[in-house]
Chain A
Amino acid sequence: LVMKDNSTCLMDVEDACKEAGINRHVIRFTSTVHLHDPGPSLGTAHKLHALMKDKLPQWSLTFTDGAISVESVLVKVEGEDDDQKSVFVSWTNQDEDLGSYILGLLNSMGQ
């Protein structure tokens, strides 16, 4: 909510920062989980997508080009046809609770 010229309006954070001359500093985290899951990496991504849909029913998840995203959280699988897959989980600081929850979920799969 921004007050400007004696009136108020709703702006998204990026626009409001530009308007006020504030230089936002974006913190992003990327953590890597190693999973033993033979087969193509797309198959692993599908399994992770199914698990996340199950655990996060109230969130809107998207699955594009083998990457899963929800809010600023991005989950990507690498290691084509290797038994061992590297799963990258990335999120911005504003989604810390969601990002660290998803990282914990994937970590528990790897154990």
Chain B
Amino acid sequence: GNTALECKLQPKEIRYEWGTLNVTEFLQKLSQEGIVDAKVEPIGNGVMIHLQDEDALIQIEDNCTHVLCNSDEKIRMQLRNILMQCLKKF
């Protein structure tokens, strides 16, 4: 109900990611989770990873990563978990 939601949206300890994402490690983790259709192409200062079956794009640069999906939360959460494993946090 609403009470649970309000609790969930209360401020809590926030962690920040840092460092550069290792694209090879990221691709390995994707394939370990069964995502094997990644198409990688260089763009600007980084790479663009296209996941056709999952209908998702991941744009990776030294200091930022942008994940673009449809409204399918399952794939976004999966990509988020993998990204978090690949980055350092404080």
Chain A residues engaging chain B, CB cutoff 8 angstroms: 13, 17, 22-34, 56, 58-59, 93-94, 96-98, 100-101, 103-104, 106-107, 110
Q: Are B64 and A31 in contact (CB under 8 A)?
A: no
Contact indicator B9/A98 (Cβ below 8 Å): yes
Chain B residues with Cβ under 8 A from A34's Cβ?
A: 71
Asked whether, in the complex, the Cβ of B90 is within 8 Å of the Cβ of A22, the reply is yes
Q: How many pairs of residues, A versus B, come closer than 8 Å at their CB atoms?
A: 84
Please state if B20 and A30 are interface contacts (CB–CB under 8 Å).
no
Asked if B63 and A103 sit within 8 Å, CB to CB, the answer is no
Complex contact A33–B71 (CB within 8 A): yes
Query: Taking beta carbons and an 8 Å cutoff, which residues of B are in contact with A?
Result: 5-6, 8-9, 14-21, 62-71, 73, 76, 80, 83-84, 87, 90
Q: Are B17 and A25 in contact (CB under 8 A)?
A: yes
In the complex the two chains form, is A30's CB within 8 Å of B18's CB?
no
**Are A93 and B17 neighbours in the complex by a CB distance under 8 Å?**
yes
